[in-house]
A and B are shown apart, each in its own frame.
Chain A
Amino acid sequence: MSRKAEYAVEIEHLTVRYGDHVALEDLSLQIPRGAFVAIVGPNGAGKSTLIKTILGLVRPASGKVLVLGEPLERLDPLRVGYVPQFKTLDRSFPALAEELVVSGLRRAWPGRITRGEREKALAALERVGAAHLAGRSVSRFSGGELQRVYLARAFVRQPELVVLDEPATGIDVLGEADMYRLLEGYQKQSGATLLMITHDWEAAYHHASHVIVLNRRLIGFGPPERALSERCLREAFGHVGHAHTVALEFVRSKHV
């Protein structure tokens, strides 16, 4: 068992470039273990780049990134659970829900599932209320069903860090409430850290313990009532136009 680091994610002076385009610039932050962190910011702010860097999908131009106390090249990927946007699912690929969950255990696609793996997959699906989906093809699942299967896939490896890319997009209000209940339940039981991109400031305000406000640079980081301030939102979303009005309305409704 690796040493317990104080922070789930430690980033120092991180800069990420795509060719000439700077996606993230000189970003430094420390995410404490057990936090539920929401990342907000306008389109093109570098939110996806930030989680992709943490997942080891994007190589930084400069800076230091430690995840669960380890540099990315030394980190055991099974310690991190990733829930991608389910709309990226290739529905033409023939797959059963239980195979998708077992892929989270194996870090490979299962040709044949062992009895032990099936038990673990079923337990994970049961935890998200989707045991009945185990032997069904994912290609015809609704957004809500897929989201549950992807959550089971992440939970099955008992990750210490769960990274979610816009998990509420494309599911209805009830499904969204269910999802937050499942995430918070997992966090309570495991003490895991949750890191989620969202466009929903309300959700960030109500569910997250910390909020990262991003627009290429770090604009705000802290508890929601501090990070989702008028100053931070105006700086991230602009001083004029519709986003500005929405930001002001949000801030006033929360009196932050």
Chain B
Amino acid sequence: MFEAWHLPFMQRALLAGLIMALLSGYYGPFMVQRGLSFLGSGLAHAAFGGVALGLLLGGEPLWVAVPFTAAVALGITWVRERTRISGDTAVGIFFAVSMALGIVFLSLKREYTAEAFTYLFGSILAVTATDIWVSLGLLLLTLLTLPLWGRWAYATFDRELAQADRVPVLFDDYLLAFLVALVVVVAMKLVGLLLVAAFLVIPAAAARQWSRTFAGMMVGAVLVGVFSVVFGLQISLQFDIPSGATIVLLQALVFTAAALIWRRA
């Protein structure tokens, strides 16, 4: 049953999936508790614009998608902080514009680009060594920002209390948006832009059901992510169904079970 795990592409898929489970389990609770669940989805659509531009210019689309999406994330944060537009409206505007740009870029290419579909639906089984290195780089970057966890969590709990204690909340907003943008771009290759937001939202939302502490919620989100990646890949292989979608459906299954078990009295 597990002999397929010896195949290099499966090992790459597993490694990439596990890194994504760690990253999205780490950042997801911040997004969910800050009411920014929609941001992941919006950034994925923005990333599509970046990928399309990358395909148009030629070469590895990731190198264009990363700065493009990071710029959109910072733009959304700027609009949210500095204008009267609410967060979800800012996300809505940016993602529509980026998506429109993506469509225009792809049409300019004038030839069929099958690779674009990889980004739409994801292809965890087509993970390259570059993807793994980029994921590991992002993991390292996240480890470097671990000392900031306490103040990010503090501002997530109560922004005003954190501000009164001189936590640089504005700087942290931009930094978090930037890092989430990177996670989204990298995860998009694996699960596709249509499903990438699920990675950030569903494990965190599932873990919220049983967690009594924010740190516990984060550990729970990572565990849900790891569980769904391992079993999702196995199931997708066994039944020959798309791996990204299977992983997301497993996450949803955990969420539903948690919601039923830990529902409010």
Contacts and interface: CB of A to CB of B under 8 A. Distances in A.
A108 B147 CA distance: 10
Interface residues of A, number: 25
Contact of A107 (B167, B214, B217): B167
Contact of B213 (A57, A89, A95): A95
23 contacts: A57-B164, A77-B166, A82-B164, A84-B158, A84-B160, A90-B33, A90-B158, A92-B208, A93-B33, A93-B214, A94-B211, A95-B214, A106-B150, A107-B166, A107-B167, A108-B150, A108-B153, A108-B154, A110-B215, A111-B150, A111-B153, A111-B215, A137-B212
A117 interface: no
B208 A109 contact: no
Contact of A94 (B164, B166, B214): B214
Interface of A: 55-57, 77, 80, 82, 84, 88-90, 92-96, 99, 103, 106-112, 137
A109 B151 CA distance: 6
B165 interface: yes
A170 B152 CA distance: 29
B164 A92 contact: no
B156 interface: yes
Interface string B139-177: 000000000011111101110110111110000000000
A109 B150 contact: yes
Given A108-B150, A109-B150, A109-B214, A93 B164 contact: no
Given A94-B213, A103-B161, 15 more contacts: A57-B164, A84-B158, A89-B158, A90-B158, A92-B208, A94-B211, A94-B216, A95-B213, A99-B214, A103-B157, A109-B149, A109-B150, A109-B153, A110-B215, A111-B150
Contacts of A84: 158, 160-161
Nearest to A140: B264
Given A92-B33, A94-B214, A94-B216, A109 B164 contact: no
Of A82, A92, A109, chain B has the most CB atoms within 10 Å of the CB of A109
Contact of A57 (B150, B156, B160): B160
Nearest to B29: A94
B164 A96 contact: no
A137 B215 CA distance: 14
